[in-house]
Amino acid sequence: MELPNHAKQLLLQLNQQRTKGFLCDVIIVVENALFRAHKNILAASSIYFKSLVLHDNLINLDTEMVNPSVFRQVLDFIYTGKLLSTSDQSSEHNFSALLTAASYLQLHDLAALCRKKLKRNGGKPLPGKPSTPGPLSRLRLNSQRLSSSTPAGNNNHYPPTPSDTDQPQPDEGLRDKLSDDEMYVGSSGKNGNGANGSTNGNISSGGSAGEPDLGLDLSKKSPPSAGTATDALSPHSNSQESPQSASVSTTNSASLDDSSNTLPGVETCISENMDLNSSKTSEEAPNQLDGPPPQKKPRQGARKNEWPKREASGLKSEDHDRPLVNGVIVGPKDGRSTGIGGGGGGNFISDQSFQCKDEEDIRENGRDHSDESGQSDGDSGGGGGTRGGNHSANYVYRQEGFEPAFGDNLYVCIPCGKGFPSSEQLNAHVETHTEDELYIKEEGGTLVKEEDEEEAEDLSAPVGPSNFGSETRPFKCTVCSKSYKDPATLRQHEKSHWLTRPFPCNICGKMFTQRGTMTRHMRSHLGLKPFACEECGMRFTRQYRLTEHMRVHSGEKPYECQLCGGKFTQQRNLISHLRMHTSPS
């Protein structure tokens, strides 16, 4: 007995889930567009994807091989078995691009389909493309550029994939009859590889909960009470981080799934549509799905939507809208979260994703980063870049896909203007600066600084606790005189003076001085809140927040105002309160 439409219906459901972002557990970044999808589906479609999603939940695709528009078609194809073509997309060029992408992604059926189509049209497959380096090598190259300060040889945890050669694909799986508008793969149940034996099972069980999260672990551990969602978070993953994953992957899939329950914003937003003013994708919005409005916990919903707000606040608004089409975020979004509070939450992923890094910053030359260096607020704020202390960003890390203007040398050293093809090389170069020039310059009283750093300098003057007890803190920063207990900390600190953010966020391009900060930041992109309150179920991105939050339940108010005796659960609120005492009002 066999249900005739089973496979079709299943695929239909999966595609609907995709368009809604439901149970999506992987994000694919193509240039500056984000696509959500299901690992199982991707893995079942391509052995290349299979190798990628095994370890990573955030995948950067080589923009030379695939662009957002093409990838959208690819994804549609994967989920529907159809190539829906518009007049534009049915052009030969489109098929060539599709073929390139399909070859790159090892989507053999699609590649065959494109070949067939091109052949039928009398066109030729793109001559050189299939011989370009295979996906694996390209990915390595790609991620190497993306991941700063990851050791060379990072991506080696990728399982070897079959050769990247572009073998001719059997056309047997293709339907002979191809219409110009729609092309089908013969059987929706037929997959390029046999890796999907568990697909259905996994899907029905809610995604990839059982999948090893070998990527950069952003989920951390979760308190035992985290419930079903948290159960899926594997506690072991900390040790699993691979160097590569820092650049390509981000989170564990279970957490993503989880977010669909507890963090509807991300789940929904990334999948739901936004205004469609992207030139590439404006013709349709197939996923204008009225997915269930995200459930919101008290306060959290509104809050969640305001997530990127801070960066938006007081900051310029970009000209560019970053529409989200078919689950795709296209381009940076301006700082104003248009949809904030609108309930649907459909906007904020896009907002957050791109507010973090103002496109303006990105567009401009490397120097502007020296302005933004001080505080993350500044950079994300774009216009407010100059504030934020003395941390002049003298070195700029360029993330591929965000700033192509430097050609291959995306990593530019600000003081000397030299470009480097990799962050490693830039970092190595920077070291020579710090050792050879920095201190010399300092001795000479001419530190490399931006013109406007005088004010900022004051902010980081050796104030506060940094100077006390110099006996126990023998390691002193030569720039700001802060002292530290150990040389490693000093080194880390010194980089805040001289190194600009070697750790970029793969989603928004924002850069960080410390990997941990970037990792934490990524959690916010992905809506990972591994720390759940046992009392109320509220979830947090950080343990510390949970600790703070627990005082709400316990009633503990450890922070007391010495002036009025007022007690507070959080120190910051005491501080805020003290300002009220001291401020002349």
Partner DNA sequence: CTGGGGAGGGGGCCC
Partner DNA sequence: AGGGCCCCCTCCCCA
108 forms part of the interface with DNA (CB under 7 A): no
450 forms part of the interface with DNA (CB under 7 A): no
Using DSSP's 3-state secondary structure scheme, residue 248 falls into helix
Helices (H), 106-252: 108-120, 135-146, 199-204, 227-231, 245-248
- Please identify which residue in 137, 282, 365, 547 interacts with DNA, judged by CB under 7 A: 547
570 forms part of the interface with DNA (CB under 7 A): yes
268 forms part of the interface with DNA (CB under 7 A): no
- 138 vs 178: CA distance, rounded Å: 32
Residues 50-79 that bind DNA (CB under 7 A): none
Using DSSP's 3-state secondary structure scheme, residue 549 falls into helix
Shortest Å distance, C-beta 138 to DNA: 24
Shortest Å distance, C-beta 55 to DNA: 15
- 509 vs 40: CA distance, rounded Å: 27
- Closer to DNA by CB, 86 or 470: give it: 470
Write the CB contacts of 176 (distance below 8 Å, at least 6 apart in sequence). Answer: none
Residues 155-174 that bind DNA (CB under 7 A): none
Shortest Å distance, C-beta 560 to DNA: 11
Say which amino acid occupies 50: K
What is the full DSSP assignment across 558-581?
A: -EE-TTT--EESSHHHHHHHHHHH
Stretch that binds DNA, among 110-118, 415-423, 441-449, 573-581 (CB under 7 A): 573-581
Shortest Å distance, C-beta 133 to DNA: 27
Shortest Å distance, C-beta 525 to DNA: 8
Which helix (H) or strand (E) covers residue 34, if one does?
strand 33-37
Q: x-or-dash pattern for DNA, window 314-343, by CB under 7 A?
A: x--------------------------x--
Shortest Å distance, C-beta 439 to DNA: 18
- Closer to DNA by CB, 71 or 512: give it: 512
- Closer to DNA by CB, 204 or 585: give it: 585
Shortest Å distance, C-beta 556 to DNA: 10
Q: Which residue has the tokens 């009220």?
A: 580
Shortest Å distance, C-beta 527 to DNA: 8
State how far the alpha carbon of 152 is from the alpha carbons of 143, 244, 253, 419, in Å. Answer: 11, 9, 26, 18
- Please identify which residue in 466, 504, 509, 532 interacts with DNA, judged by CB under 7 A: 466
Write the CB contacts of 543 (distance below 8 Å, at least 6 apart in sequence). Answer: 220, 531
Helices (H), 121-198: 135-146
Say which amino acid occupies 238: N
Shortest Å distance, C-beta 211 to DNA: 18
Write the CB contacts of 135 (distance below 8 Å, at least 6 apart in sequence). Answer: 48, 62, 65, 104, 105, 106, 161, 164
Shortest Å distance, C-beta 264 to DNA: 12
- Closer to DNA by CB, 276 or 393: give it: 393
Say which amino acid occupies 144: Q
- Closer to DNA by CB, 229 or 285: give it: 229
Shortest Å distance, C-beta 422 to DNA: 17
- Please identify which residue in 204, 562, 582, 585 interacts with DNA, judged by CB under 7 A: 585
548 forms part of the interface with DNA (CB under 7 A): yes
Helices 47-55 and 135-146 pack at an angle, to 10 degrees, of 30
Shortest Å distance, C-beta 399 to DNA: 15
Which helix (H) or strand (E) covers residue 58, if one does?
strand 58-61
- 212 vs 81: CA distance, rounded Å: 28
- Closer to DNA by CB, 121 or 295: give it: 295
- Closer to DNA by CB, 93 or 579: give it: 579
Residues 214-233 that bind DNA (CB under 7 A): 217, 220-221
Look up residue 195 and give its two tokens.
């890796």
- 258 vs 3: CA distance, rounded Å: 32
Residues 287-316 that bind DNA (CB under 7 A): 299-300, 302-304, 306-307, 309-310, 312-314
Question: CA-based angle 480:485:488, to the nearest 5?
Answer: 80
φ, ψ of residue 329 to 5 degrees: the values are -95, 125
Q: x-or-dash pattern for DNA, window 342-361, by CB under 7 A?
A: --------------x-----
Number of residues that bind DNA (CB under 7 A): 77
- Closer to DNA by CB, 53 or 511: give it: 511
- Closer to DNA by CB, 16 or 478: give it: 478
State how far the alpha carbon of 52 is from the alpha carbons of 154, 157, 201, 394, in Å. Answer: 14, 10, 20, 35
Bridge partner residues of 560 (DSSP): 567
Question: CA-based angle 280:285:286, to the nearest 5?
Answer: 125
Residues 376-415 that bind DNA (CB under 7 A): 376-377, 379-380, 389, 391
Stretch that binds DNA, among 251-259, 408-416, 435-443, 485-493 (CB under 7 A): 485-493
Stretch that binds DNA, among 123-131, 269-277, 282-290, 491-499 (CB under 7 A): 491-499
CA 163 to chain CA centroid, nearest Å: 28
Cβ atoms of 384 and 316 within 8 Å: the answer is no
Residues 86-105 that bind DNA (CB under 7 A): none
Using DSSP's 3-state secondary structure scheme, residue 17 falls into helix
- Closer to DNA by CB, 84 or 550: give it: 550
Q: Around Cβ 463, how many Cβ atoms within 10 Å?
A: 12
- Please identify which residue in 155, 473, 502, 509 interacts with DNA, judged by CB under 7 A: 473
Residues 506-545 that bind DNA (CB under 7 A): 510, 512-517, 519-521, 523-524, 529, 538-545
